[in-house]
Amino acid sequence: MQFSTQICLFLLIISQSFGYFNQVEDNDCFCQLHGRIDDCSCSIDTVDYYNNVKIYPRLRSLLNKDYFRFYKVNLKRDCPFWADDSRCAIRYCHVETCQEDLIPSGLKGQAKQPAEKYKDEELNCKDDYNAELGYLNTTISKRAREEFAIWTTYDNAQENFCLIDENDSDAEYVDLLLNPERYTGYKGFSAHRIWNSIYMENCFKPRNSFHTYIQSETLNHMCLEKRAFYRAISGLHSSINIHLSAKYLLSDKSELGIDNKGKWGPNIDEFIRRFSSETTNGEGPNWLKNLYFIYLLELRALAKASPYLAREEYYTGNEGEDWDTKLAVKDLLGIIKSFPEHFDETNMFIGGEPAKKLKEEFKHHFRNISVIMDCVGCDKCKLWGKLQVQGLGTALKILFSGMFDENVPELYINSKNKRDFQLERTEIVALVNSFGRLSTSIYELDEFRHILR
């Protein structure tokens, strides 16, 4: 405690000396960012070490692989809630879609994945002979099979926490490495309306709460499930704000002045404005804590789905890279599973019919948020908003759909025995990239901490 006070006083002296921020006090963001994470069993220091030393370096390498860098998304959907023709203020928010010849053949469906060979064999109809019953005609018409596929797709969609637009006619592949998440100048009424709609209309709120966000002292008046929903959304919001502050447009020209790609880097004033106690009515440090909450939630989802993810082929058509990707995923999953204090989702949605009703309401609210992403007026913001919301929705599906049991992996490995737990490729890409964004945020928090010191 004495050491923490000394750090706070030191930050105060340094900030006043160099003019970073003249209103830093003993209770500012980093000085409160310690101790146990709310509704979890582990501490912030534990997550910092585990992420920055073990997880972040592996994710940074993995997300450069073709399987995870190409994301198929529809950025042309109209906003169903309001008319909005706003656009971001600078040219850097344009999204570069992929040229057809740059997309790996395996992602375009030009070559079959290994698993598809066996699926095709299962669909070939055969007549089985039984000595007592005679011939049993197992033929199923092509039309019937198509209808079964539609039914299965519909059933699986009921377990989704957000909408998937990979199969939309307007969906296109985007190279995420060519379109990094960073500050675009998208702000003002349009951007505020997005977050106001999310917080005011889709987050669970305590009675007589009229703030856009929920004040931390009132959160404990809500049940665990509703608190978790708010903390996840707030943590996602914090993560996005950290990215914008860490990759801020510092100059409209590159450092060498030989092109117009701009110079990007950390903006200390922007970070402090978004998270200081002074500018956030004391809530900034709590918003940063919520980042750790959503990190643990998605970390747990990856750990729970690790048997499923470990058997994926991560197929792109490039045999050498696909093999490397699969090994890298298994290595990352091993590190994730070894984390000592995972989030415990088994305490949520228990209690019979009321819990079932609450889960459906939970899912409905989150689906609304996924649709609100189509109302974002900046293409690059929309891209990363849709990806990170889908990643969080995939994590919620893994944790709460009821289709997945990590202790009985054969239930989904042998597809003949039950209705599969399945993840679309875009769900896997979104989940890993979304977790990568959270991991990067925690890493960048440490960078801001060093800069302020």
Cβ contact 242:267 at 8 Å? no
> What residues are designated binding site for FAD?
182, 184, 195, 234, 237, 274
Report residue 450 CA to chain centroid gap: 26
Residue 381 among the catalytic residues: yes
Is 203 among the catalytic positions? no
Which CA distances in Å does 192 have to 145, 162, 365, 377? 47, 22, 19, 11
Q: What is the DSSP string of 219-254?
A: HTTS-HHHHHHHHHHHHHHHHHHHHHHHTEEEESS-
Angle at 183 between CA 178 and CA 186, to 5 degrees: 110
* Residues sharing a CB contact under 8 Å with residue 60, sequence separation 6 or more, in sequence order: 436, 440
Active-site choice (31, 88, 203, 381): 381
The gap between the terminal CA atoms of the chain, to the nearest Å, is 18
Per-residue b/e over 213-234, b at no fewer than 16 CB within 10 Å?
Answer: bbebeebeebeebbbbbbbbbb
Name 152's Cβ contacts closer than 8 Å, sequence gap at least 6.
Answer: 419
| Annotated catalytic residue within 40, 98, 375, 378 | 378
Q: What are phi and psi of 396, to 5 degrees?
A: -65, -40
Instruction: Give Cα 26 to chain centroid, integer Å.
Output: 33
> Which residues does the annotation place in the binding site?
182, 184, 195, 234, 237, 274
Let me know: does 375 contact 79? Beta carbons within 8 Å.
yes
Angstrom CA distances, 302 to 37, 44, 167, stand at 19, 19, 24
Which residues are known to be catalytic? 378, 381
